[in-house]
């Protein structure tokens, strides 16, 4: 395989700069010592990070986002595992349709989902509640949870379970000792990917979160709509830092590429 | 035994029936309801909202803007993302993995934070983009990015770029590297290889990436809301206004349902096109 | 009475009979190979014995008892799968000990028996390794040990050597045969490799389209194939004037069937000839003894035993 020429590498450098520029700018501005938006030139300051503590609505929104992501992702994985096993193992009428249905939140614009949930939750008395948020987030993260649990269920060699059965294992023993441990990496990565997507979701949540149940991205969005100041850059910098750490850990553990492309595309070269 | 797969799917089916299908049906229904400043939502069946959305030139302009933005975002993503995916694919490890992480990683970073970055680059006291462009001698006077379609297009192209890179990357993985070598051995130069050998094979990837980017760009919310400001409306920000400011939910629902229908039509048509065009080659 | 009996065993998938009225008796301690091309029904037969596939009709009896009435988990059969199907998250010792654990064998006895069995397959030093840290041949032995340690009534081998390279496969064949002789377990081998079936088993069952074409000792089936299919499947064969003759039985002689050498291929220990004759193209295999042999274009006379 031939190498990239200098032209290609120059292009690549510009491209990476384009991808990283807005993220780096946010992080830089967050360290400004000034009271207005500016780049820290001669000195850095953490004053805007300390300032976050003065805004309890950011702190509480952060914890809410964390819980929301953790709970909805866990439930999404819990629902996905049996569905993934069914889709991976059985050829049943409606299998394609069921799969398409479970993946559909990827296709339906989050705006439409937000509006639909706002209408629905208001009607059934869940408007602006945390329960409503959890239900809606389960729906939007299920495709991510399902994709990765499905991949690990499909990759499971059925003869391994047959081997356990032939050695005298009952169904529940096979499930507990063989099947679950083998699909566990898929479950964990599915949960993590679902969590990140829940943690960052804003378009749908902005419709259904009320004051008091706002998530961090929603709080940030509403704040930016009013004014852009260094405070929101320091909050964003924290979010970016958390995501980057999670990303690197996930990449180390499972391979980001495999999680996003949905298969291990890296081998065979 | 026959019931087993359905039982396993039952929890998810119940959830989707109750929390996806019913709400979506209610939203479609809502778009036919009446609304008044003082009477609120009236559960009747009228076509008023649809007539307004389909007939009023304000909505025409707004939908035209929405799809114009989506088109240019898709174009930018394809023109710049596809070559980058190709370059990435030719890199050696560990660089390949590192840069892939850098380019795909932003996908998982909050859209709000990324858009904020563009707002900082476009305007405020820094206006870095204009400084850079003027510094390179590309423009003489600062260009307006904040509160313009151009600004929305650039920021959205950044937000959605990873999807394009990912789609093209995936199709490049299926490519047999020996085929390029075969073309070279037959006397093809590097550009001929790109144009005649690589591009036709990754075209389905570019097209499927384009479908994803277009659909997400046309329904994007946070980026057009922040960069476009309160006046430059696209379908999603307009629907947001109707729901949370004007409180004319039926009209907002009509806008959202129309957007959904338009997207389903476009995505379905594009997929059909891709399948018909490439099914024979990539069965 | 035979130890394992298959009686008119049939498995239909829709209108297609994967196994079609197969009847077979296996004696205790016997090594029987089910041999045939892919799709001949041999694997389906094995899976019916194991209990993973339910027969459409027919009976399976083990030591006089109806095996079909017993759940797969209670049949007490040792199975070696084509993919080995080792538990990737368990060590070698845990893999081998799993079946004993399921039987409720006490930990101390388990350790002893696992150790003994791993010694038997020559892996005594590998107890704490994980499957992915082993070579293909070693994984194969672990799979064998895992199946043998539960002292199965029957050992079922599903293409056990097909994932090994040619050299290793030959070594494992010899070893497998020795181990089976040592422990004396009744064994059913499923394979598409006629050399493997003939090397390992006491009797072979040549299967085609769900039916047994011939059941008998390998040597007998090779020498006296019951059908043209068996003759072809068990090795190269010539059909000369309606008579089947194995290529290695034909020699170059002073007189016989006249022909011209079309091609000859050197294969190390023997030469492979294609000879044009009045009765068609005849394949001849001659041992390489170092002597000069006919070359392409030579006129030759072919002779074999029993030729008039």
Question: A134: which chain B residues are within 8 Å (Cβ-Cβ)?
Answer: none
Exposed e or buried b per residue across C19-57, where buried means at least 16 C-beta atoms within 10 angstroms of its C-beta: bbebebebeeebbbbbbbeeebbbbbbbbbbbbbbebee
Dihedral in degrees, nearest 10, Cα atoms A237, A238, A240, A245: 140
> How many residues can be counted in chain C?
308
Is the residue at B132 inside a domain?
no
| Cβ separation A37–B121 shorter than 8 A | no
Each residue's pLDDT tens digit, A139-154: 999 999 999 899 888 8
| Contact predicate A31/A22, CB 8 Å | no
Mean per-residue pLDDT, B123-132: 71
Q: Quick check: C302 and C257 in contact, CB under 8 A? A: yes
* pLDDT tier for residue B281 given thresholds of 50, 70 and 90: low
Task: Name the residue ranges covered by the structural domains of chain A.
Answer: 6-261
Contact yes or no for B171/B202 (Cβ under 8 A): yes
The structure tokens listed for C304 are 């074999």
Task: Answer yes or no: is B241 within a domain.
Answer: yes
* 25-84 of A, contacting B, C-beta below 8 A: 25-26, 29, 36-39, 78-80, 82-83
C189 has which bridge partners? C33, C157
Q: Which residues of C169-181 are buried (b: 16+ CB within 10 A; e: fewer)?
A: beebbebbeebbe
> What is each CA distance from C214 to A158, C11, C222, in whole angstroms?
32, 19, 10
The answer to whether B220 contacts A8, with C-beta atoms less than 8 Å apart, is: no
Supply the pLDDT for residue C308: 47
Q: Both B240 and B220 in a single domain?
A: no
Given a contact cutoff of 8 angstroms between Cβ atoms, the answer to whether A149 and A77 are in contact is yes
CATH pick for C4-229 out of 3.40.190.10, 1.10.287.1080, 3.40.50.300, 2.30.30.30: 3.40.50.300
Query: Are residues B85 and B218 both part of a single domain?
Result: yes
Domain count, chain B: 2
Handedness of CA B120, B126, B128, B129 (dihedral sign): positive
Assigned CATH for C238-303: 2.40.50.140
Among B85-89, B210-214, C273-277, C303-307, the least confident range: C303-307
Q: What is the pLDDT of residue A261?
A: 63
Task: Return the closest-CA partner of residue C192 out of C40, C37, C44.
Answer: C37
pLDDT band at A263; cut points 50, 70, 90: very low
Percent of chain C with pLDDT over 70: 99
pLDDT at C258 over 50: yes
Average per-residue pLDDT in chain B? 88
Quick check: bond before C54 cis, omega within 30? no
* Same domain flag for B94 and B76: yes
* Tokens 């006919």 belong to residue: C294
Find the mean pLDDT for residues A222-246: 90
CB distance B11–A79 less than 8 Å?
yes
Q: Which of A200, A195, A189, A187 is nearest to A255 (CA)?
A: A189
Q: Which residues of C touch A163 (CB under 8 A)?
A: 79, 81, 85-87, 146
pLDDT at C95: 94
pLDDT for B124 equals 57
- Which among C74, C38, C51 has a CA at the least distance from the CA of C159? C38
Closest Cα in chain A, distance from residue B207 (Å): 16
Looking at residues B214-220, what average pLDDT do you find? 93
CB A79 within 8 A of CB A231: no
User: Is the dihedral angle over the CA atoms C133, C138, C143, C145 positive or is it negative?
Assistant: negative
Consecutive H or E run containing C80:
strand C78-80
Q: Where are the alpha helices (DSSP H) in C103-248?
A: 107-120, 136-148, 166-183, 194-200, 218-223, 228-233
What are the φ and ψ backbone dihedral angles of B80, each rounded to 5 degrees?
Answer: -100, -30
Residue C195 or B2, more confident: C195
pLDDT value, residue A265 = 34
Instruction: Please state whether A181 falls in left (phi above 0), alpha (psi between -120 and 50) or beta.
Output: alpha
Q: How many CB pairs under 8 A join A and C?
A: 59
How many CA atoms, within 13 angstroms, populate the side-chain half-sphere of residue A193?
30
Domain membership of residue B36 (yes or no) is: yes
**Cβ neighbours of residue B81 closer than 8 Å, sequence gap 6 or more:** B161, B164, B165, B168, B209
The average pLDDT across A6-25 equals 93
A157-215 pLDDT per residue, tens:
889 999 999 999 998 999 999 999 998 888 988 898 899 899 999 999 999 999 889 99
Residue B282: inside a domain? no
Residues of chain C with CATH 2.40.50.140: 238-303
Contact partners, residue A152, CB within 8 Å, separation at least 6: A84, A182, A183, A185, A186, A187
Q: Cβ neighbours of residue A31 under 8 Å, at least 6 residues apart?
A: A40, A44, A45, A46, A48
The pLDDT score that the predictor gives to residue A116 is: 95
Query: Under an 8 A CB cutoff, do A120 and B22 touch?
Result: yes
The CATH number of the domain holding residue B193 is: 1.10.3720.10
Q: With cut-offs at 50, 70 and 90, classify the pLDDT of residue A267.
A: very low
- Whole-number mean pLDDT of chain A? 88
Residues 6+ away with beta carbon under 8 Å from A4: A12, B87, B90, B91
Is it true that domain A6-261 has CATH number 3.30.470.30?
no
The answer to whether B239 and A204 have CB atoms below 8 angstroms apart is: no
Q: Examine the pLDDT at B208 and tell me if it is beyond 70.
A: yes
- Domain of B252? 24-55+234-260
Please name the member of C77, C78, C81 whose beta carbon is closest to the beta carbon of A159. Answer: C81
| Nearest chain A residue (CA) to C145 | A167
Q: Over the stretch B13-25, which tens digit does the pLDDT of each residue have? A: 999 999 999 999 9
Q: What is the pLDDT of residue B238?
A: 93
For residue C103, which residues of chain A lie inside 8 Å, CB to CB? 168
Same domain, B253 and B220: no
Looking at residue A73, its pLDDT comes to: 96
Name the residue among C178, C127, C117 with its Cα closest to residue C150: C117
Span C164-214, pLDDT tens digits: 888 888 888 888 888 898 889 999 999 999 989 998 999 999 999 999 999
Residues B32 and B98 in one domain: no
Please give the Cα distance from C92 to B221 (Å, whole number).
Answer: 55
Q: Report, as an integer, the average pLDDT of B201-212.
A: 90
Parts of chain C belonging to CATH 3.40.50.300: 4-229
CB C109 within 8 A of CB C117: no
What order of strands is seen across the sheet that includes strand C251-253? Answer: C251-253, C299-303, C257-266, C270-277, C280-287
Statement: residue A216 has pLDDT above 80: yes
Element counts in chain B: helices (H) and strands (E): 14, 2
In this structure, are B42 and B92 located in the same domain? no
């Amino acid at each position: 395989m031939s190498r990239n020429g200098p032209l290609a590498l120059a292009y690549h450098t510009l491209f990476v700069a384009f991808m990283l520029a807005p993220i780096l700018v946010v992080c830089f501005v967050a360290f400004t010592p000034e009271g207005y938006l500016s780049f820290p030139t001669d000195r850095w300051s953490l004053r805007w990070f300390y300032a976050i503590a003065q805004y309890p609505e950011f702190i509480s929104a952060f914890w809410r986002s964390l819980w929301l992501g953790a709970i909805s992702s866990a439930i999404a994985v819990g629902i996905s595992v049996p569905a993934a096993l069914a889709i991976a193992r059985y050829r049943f009428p409606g299998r394609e349709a069921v799969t398409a249905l479970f993946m559909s939140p990827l296709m339906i614009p989050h705006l439409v989902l937000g509006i639909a949930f706002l209408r629905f939750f208001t009607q059934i008395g869940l408007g602006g509640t945390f329960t409503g948020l959890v239900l809606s987030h389960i729906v939007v993260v299920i495709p991510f949870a399902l994709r990765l649990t499905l991949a690990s269920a499909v990759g499971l060699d059925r003869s391994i379970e047959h081997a356990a059965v032939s050695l005298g294992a009952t169904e529940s023993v096979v499930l507990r000792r063989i099947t679950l441990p083998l699909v566990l990496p898929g479950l964990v990565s599915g949960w993590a990917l679902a969590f990140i997507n829940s943690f960052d979701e804003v378009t749908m949540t902005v419709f259904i979160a009320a004051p008091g149940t706002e998530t961090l991205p929603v709080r940030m969005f509403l704040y930016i709509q009013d004014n852009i100041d260094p405070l929101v850059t320091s909050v964003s910098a924290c979010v970016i830092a958390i995501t980057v750490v999670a990303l690197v850990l996930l990449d180390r553990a499972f391979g980001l590429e495999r999680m996003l492309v949905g298969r291990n595309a890296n081998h065979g070269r | 035994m026959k019931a087993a797969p359905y039982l396993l799917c039952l929890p998810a089916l119940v959830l989707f029936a109750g929390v996806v299908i019913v709400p979506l049906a209610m939203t479609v229904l809502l778009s036919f309801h009446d609304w008044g400043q003082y009477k609120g939502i009236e559960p009747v069946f009228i076509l008023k909202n649809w007539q307004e959305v389909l007939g009023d030139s304000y909505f025409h302009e707004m939908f035209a803007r929405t799809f114009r933005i989506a088109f240019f975002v898709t174009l930018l993503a394809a023109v710049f993302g596809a070559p980058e995916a190709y370059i990435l694919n030719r890199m050696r490890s560990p660089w390949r993995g590192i840069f892939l992480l850098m380019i795909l990683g932003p996908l998982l970073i909050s859209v709000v934070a990324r858009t904020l970055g563009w707002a900082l680059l476009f305007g405020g006291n820094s206006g870095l983009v204009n400084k850079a462009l003027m510094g390179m001698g590309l423009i003489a006077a600062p260009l307006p990015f904040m509160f313009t379609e151009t600004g929305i297009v650039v920021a959205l192209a950044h937000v959605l770029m990873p999807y394009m890179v990912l789609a093209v990357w995936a199709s490049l993985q299926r490519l047999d590297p020996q085929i390029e070598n075969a073309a070279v051995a037959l006397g093809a130069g590097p550009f001929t290889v790109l144009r005649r050998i690589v591009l036709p094979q990754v075209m389905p990837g570019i097209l499927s990436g384009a479908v994803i980017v277009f659909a997400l760009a046309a329904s994007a919310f946070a980026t057009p809301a922040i960069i476009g400001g309160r006046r430059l409306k696209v379908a999603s920000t307009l629907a947001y206004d109707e729901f949370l400011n004007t409180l004319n939910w039926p009209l907002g629902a009509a806008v959202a349902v129309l957007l959904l229908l338009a997207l389903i039509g476009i995505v379905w048509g594009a997929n059909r096109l891709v399948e018909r065009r490439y099914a024979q080659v990539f069965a | 009475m035979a130890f394992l009996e298959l009686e008119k065993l049939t498995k239909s998938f829709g209108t297609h009979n994967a196994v079609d009225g197969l009847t077979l008796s296996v004696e205790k301690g016997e090594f029987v190979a089910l041999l045939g091309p892919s799709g001949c029904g041999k694997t389906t037969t094995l899976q019916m014995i194991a209990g993973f596939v339910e027969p459409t009709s027919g009976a399976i009896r083990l030591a006089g008892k109806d095996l079909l009435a017993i759940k797969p988990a209670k049949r007490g059969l040792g199975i070696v799968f084509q993919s080995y199907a080792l538990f990737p998250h368990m060590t070698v010792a845990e893999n081998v000990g799993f079946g004993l654990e399921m039987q409720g064998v006490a930990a101390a006895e388990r350790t002893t028996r696992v150790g003994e069995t791993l010694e038997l397959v020559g892996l005594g030093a590998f107890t704490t390794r994980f499957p992915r840290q082993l070579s293909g041949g070693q994984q194969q032995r672990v799979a064998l040990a895992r199946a043998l340690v539960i002292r199965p009534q029957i050992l079922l081998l599903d293409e056990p050597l097909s994932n090994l390279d040619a050299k290793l496969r030959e070594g494992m064949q010899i070893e497998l045969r020795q181990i089976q002789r040592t422990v004396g377990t009744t064994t059913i081998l499923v394979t598409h490799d006629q050399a493997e079936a003939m090397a390992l088993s006491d009797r072979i069952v040549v299967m085609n389209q769900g039916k047994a074409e011939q059941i008998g000792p390998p040597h007998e089936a090779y020498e006296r194939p019951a059908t043209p299919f068996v003759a072809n499947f068990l090795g190269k064969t010539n059909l000369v004037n309606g008579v089947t003759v194995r290529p290695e039985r034909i020699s170059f002689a002073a007189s016989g069937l006249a022909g011209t050498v079309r091609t000859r291929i050197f294969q190390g220990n023997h030469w492979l000839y294609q000879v044009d004759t009045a009765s068609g193209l005849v394949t001849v295999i001659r041992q390489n003894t170092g002597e000069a042999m006919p070359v392409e274009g030579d006129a030759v006379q072919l002779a074999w035993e029993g030729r008039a």
